[in-house]
């Protein structure tokens, strides 16, 4: 299964290149410029949003399973109602479910934050490239 983090694909990939300077010849500085594939940044951000949704689904399943197991344990305890929580293990399952839910909330928040930052970074690179191209076009030379 391929992810946006795998090696770059050549077909259909748009690349943003800061400073618009060709890598061969020209200019003082070091080697080539900075290459940023904004499409891949956006793909990675979208993959994280999808992962966030999958995390929600897994959390809901874990909640259901823990509560069902807790009820099942209590159903077979001596005395009292099944939901009365007479087995310590049943109560521990509920405690772990609450902890799990807290961790899922934290993970979803991190995934959303990283996704937002990837989208913002992609937008900044695109904007910077467009501004640099406009600046390059506006430079007049005596050669026309």
DSSP label at residue 17: E
Q: At CB < 8 A and 24+ separation, what contacts does 44-51 make?
A: 44/3, 44/4, 44/5, 44/118, 45/114, 45/115, 45/116, 45/118, 45/119, 45/122, 46/4, 46/115, 47/3, 47/4, 48/111, 48/112, 48/114, 48/115, 48/118, 49/111, 49/112, 49/115, 51/111
Kindly give the confidence (pLDDT) of every residue in the chain, 144 residues in length, as a single tens digit, with 9 standing for 90 and above.
455 555 454 444 455 455 555 555 455 555 556 788 899 999 999 999 999 989 988 888 888 888 888 888 877 655 555 455 566 778 888 888 889 889 999 999 999 999 999 999 999 999 999 999 899 888 877 775
The pTM score is 0.60
CA distance 81 to 89: 16
Cβ-contact 111, 55 below 8 angstroms: yes
């Amino acid at each position: 299964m391929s992810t946006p983090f795998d090696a770059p694909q050549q077909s259909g990939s748009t690349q943003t290149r800061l400073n618009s300077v060709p890598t061969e010849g020209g200019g003082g500085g070091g080697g080539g410029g900075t290459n940023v594939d904004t499409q891949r940044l956006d793909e990675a951000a979208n993959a994280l949003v999808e992962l966030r949704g999958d995390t929600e689904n897994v959390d809901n399943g874990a909640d259901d399973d823990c509560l069902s197991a807790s009820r099942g344990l209590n159903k077979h305890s001596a005395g009292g109602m099944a939901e009365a929580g007479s087995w310590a293990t049943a109560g521990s399952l509920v405690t772990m479910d609450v902890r799990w839910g807290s961790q899922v909330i934290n993970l979803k928040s991190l995934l959303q934050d990283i996704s937002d930052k990837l989208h913002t970074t992609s937008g900044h690179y695109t904007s910077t490239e467009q501004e640099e191209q406009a600046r390059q076009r506006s430079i007049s030379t005596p050669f026309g």
